[in-house]
Amino acid sequence: MKKIIFTAVLLVSCLSFKLAGAQVHISLGLNIGAQPEWGPVGYDHVDYYYIPDVDAYYDVPAHQYVYYRNNVWVHGAYLPGRYRNYDVYHGYKVVVNQPNPWMHHADVRARYANFRGRRDQVIIRDSHDQKYRNHWHGDRGHGNGGHEDHGRGHDRDHGHRG
C-alpha cells in the first residue's frame, strides 16, 4: 500500500513540475508579436532569420540586420545600400534559433544555400491566422522593406569581429 501511495505522490509531483515548466516555457518562449510582417508563418519563437539571397541575418529581438562588411559583422537597422532593391517580403527567410549564428556562418550558408532564389514562402503579412492579428494593421508592405535610408543617418552600425 505504501508503494502505491509513494508512486502516486511521485507521479503527481512530476506531473505538476512538468506542467509548471511548460507554463514558464510558453510564457517566456513566444515572440510572435516581435516578428516582422515579412517573416515566414508557422513559428511561435524566432531568434534570427538567415536571408540566403543577401547572405545576412535579421535579429528578431533586436530588430536589426547583421551582415558582413569590411571583415566585421555589422549590426544595423537596415540592410546595406548594395541591397536597396532587395525585397524582404518576397525573399526566402530561414529560421535559425541558435546564439549568434554568424559565428558559424560557413555552416549556416552551406546548410541553407539551396533556399537562395526561392520565392514560395508564405509570410506573416499575408496570413490570416489569428495568432498574427497584431500584424494586420501594419504598413502592408508600403515601407522601405528594411533597406538603408542613405543621407538620413538611420544606419546604426556596430561592428563585431566574427
What residue segments make up the domains of the chain, in order of their start?
31-160
Rounded-to-integer distance, Cα 59 and Cα 17, Å: 32
Query: For residue 157, what pLDDT is reported?
Result: 42
Residue 144 near residue 83, CB atoms below 8 Å: no
**pLDDT for 151-162, tens place per residue?**
333 344 444 444
Residue 132 near residue 41, CB atoms below 8 Å: yes
Q: Is 4 exposed, middle or buried (0-12, 13-18, 19+ CB in 10 A)?
A: exposed
> Mean pLDDT for the chain?
76
Query: For residue 154, what pLDDT is reported?
Result: 36
Question: pTM of the full predicted structure?
Answer: 0.67
**pLDDT for 10-42, tens place per residue?**
444 444 433 333 333 333 478 877 899 999 999
Three-state secondary structure call for residue 11: helix
